[in-house]
Amino acid sequence: MGLYEARMQAVQAERRCASRLTIDIPACLRTIGGDRKCRMANISDEGARLETPTPPRQGVTGWLVLGDHEIFCKVVWANETACGIRFERAIKTSTLIDIAGEQALPRGPVANAGNIQMGRKRSGLIVAGND
């Protein structure tokens, strides 16, 4: 396998494989450091985005508490106002619908990795004008 093929596989593996539902519901992220009140901005069967003024750092594990549901998860990214979590196990569609409820709004199709051109520079797409 060449370097180009290895890079292409790595890029494709990092792409989202599940569509997300845009929602806005209260949630609680329970970690060893305590409970964090947050708002869930989107969710899929694999993970979610949580908005909170004090997000935990990447790598922290805990329980996402949503009403009667408790889902074990890990923080996979974090910035100043939000974090992304990945569930230990994919949640069932029925659980996803129960959590999202009527607020669920489809967020569009999942990225098709076949449409991504490897090695093409963006600068080649810019057309100079005669100003």
pLDDT tens-digit series, residues 41-92: 999 889 999 999 999 999 999 999 988 889 999 999 999 999 999 999 998 8
pLDDT at residue 112, as a whole number: 62
The closest of 119, 110, 125 to 8, measured between CA atoms, is 119
pLDDT band, residue 6 (cuts 50/70/90)? very low
The closest of 78, 25, 88 to 54, measured between CA atoms, is 78
pLDDT value at 125 more than 60: no
pLDDT band, residue 19 (cuts 50/70/90)? confident
- The answer to whether 52 and 62 are in contact (CB under 8 A) is no
What total of structural domains would you count in the chain? 1
The closest of 72, 65, 98 to 87, measured between CA atoms, is 72
Domain that holds residue 80: 16-113
pLDDT at residue 106, as a whole number: 52
- Residue 99 falls inside a structural domain: yes
- Residue 55 falls inside a structural domain: yes
- Residue 9 falls inside a structural domain: no
